[in-house]
């Protein structure tokens, strides 16, 4: 994954680092990070994704199932990665703040964090309200909309087969403006010190697809 390579360079990952991939999913970034020789742990809430991760990763990479609002670690990581918008899911803002607090709490003082988040300016400019695709004989309809009042982007996915309804899911992510996210992280002791707009190192702005932040845990 070039994203993990970029992140490792940005954070100056070295073999003595203890590293957490927070919300690691199926472990695609951890698979790349393994080559750096650091001590790796992945955490996710989905047992299914952790099973996929276990199948692809070295046995020296630890995997833990937990909720990001209650992390079973205390000040033990040198680095925390949060890849691919693995934040801002909770409808209650106190839960999102709690997840940020937990991220800070798991880092050693002076520990580094790397967070790859969506760019709300780019989402607003490029949102496709509707799309349809076919997969394995199923028709997948996606509807997307921004709820300005709640500052969230929502997606409803409806699956049908030969016109028959098979199921639907909804996803919702908080749209944090850069200043808002920087303030939130700062309020829990995570100071942002560098910012990019994509994984080629582009300057952050309206036309940049991502909001990629790097920084350190302040305090003792
Ligand atoms: C957008 S995916 C990104 C996964 C991974 N970082 C990647 O890029 O492949 C978000 C991940 O967050 C996990 N997740 C959602 N809610 C969670 C929670 N409350 N605690 C821990 N993990 C959670 C999901 O299971 C999913 O793997």
Nearest to 80 by CA among 154, 20, 163, 165: 20
96 pocket-lining for ligand 1 (C-beta < 6 Å): no
pLDDT band at 54 (very low <50, low <70, confident <90, very high): very high
Residue 103 C-alpha to ligand 1 middle, in angstroms?
A: 14
What per-residue confidence (pLDDT) applies to 1? 87
CATH architecture of 122-173: Single Sheet (2.20)
**Burial of residue 43, with CB atoms counted within 10 A of its CB: 0-12 exposed, 13-18 middle, 19 or more buried:** buried
pLDDT band at 219 (very low <50, low <70, confident <90, very high): confident
Measure the CA dihedral 3/217/54/31, to 10°. 30
Pocket mutation for ligand 1, best pick of 20, 44, 64, 99 (most atoms within 8 Å of C-beta): 44
pLDDT in tens, 128-157: 999 999 999 999 999 999 999 999 999 999
Whether 220 shows a pLDDT value over 80: the answer reads: no
Cβ proximity of 96 and 90 under 8 Å = yes
Residue 210 C-alpha to ligand 1 middle, in angstroms?
A: 17
Query: For the chain, what are the domain ranges?
Result: 2-119+176-217, 122-173
95 pocket-lining for ligand 1 (C-beta < 6 Å): no
Mean pLDDT across the chain: 97
Cα 69 to Cα 23: distance, rounded to the nearest angstrom? 11
- Do 122-173 and 2-119+176-217 have the same topology in CATH? no
Q: For atom 2 of ligand 1, which residue has the closest CA? A: 86
38 pocket-lining for ligand 1 (C-beta < 6 Å): no
Q: For atom 9 of ligand 1, which residue has the closest CA? A: 25
| The CATH number of domain 2-119+176-217 is 3.40.50.10540 | no
**What is the mean pLDDT of the segment spanning 42-68?**
98
């Amino acid at each position: 994954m070039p994203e993990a390579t970029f992140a490792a360079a940005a954070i100056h990952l070295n073999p003595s680092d203890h590293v957490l991939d927070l919300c690691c999913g199926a472990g695609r970034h951890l698979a790349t990070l393994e080559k750096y020789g650091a001590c790796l742990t992945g955490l996710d809430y989905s047992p299914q994704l952790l099973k996929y991760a276990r199948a692809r990763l070295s046995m020296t990479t630890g995997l833990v199932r937990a909720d990001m609002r209650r992390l079973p670690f205390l000040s033990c990581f040198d680095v925390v990665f949060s890849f691919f918008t693995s934040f801002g899911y909770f409808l209650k803002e106190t839960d999102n703040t709690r997840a940020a607090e937990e991220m800070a709490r798991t880092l050693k003082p002076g520990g580094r964090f790397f967070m790859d988040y969506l760019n709300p300016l780019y989402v607003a400019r490029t949102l496709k309200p509707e799309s349809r695709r076919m997969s394995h004989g199923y028709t997948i309809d996606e509807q997307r909309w921004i709820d300005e009042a709640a500052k969230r982007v929502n997606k409803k996915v409806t699956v049908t087969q030969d016109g028959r309804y098979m199921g639907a899911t909804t996803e919702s992510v908080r749209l944090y403006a850069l200043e808002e996210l920087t303030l939130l992280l700062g309020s829990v002791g995570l100071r942002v010190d560098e910012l990019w707009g994509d994984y080629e190192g582009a300057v952050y702005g309206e036309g940049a697809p991502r909001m990629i932040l790097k920084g350190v845990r302040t305090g003792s």
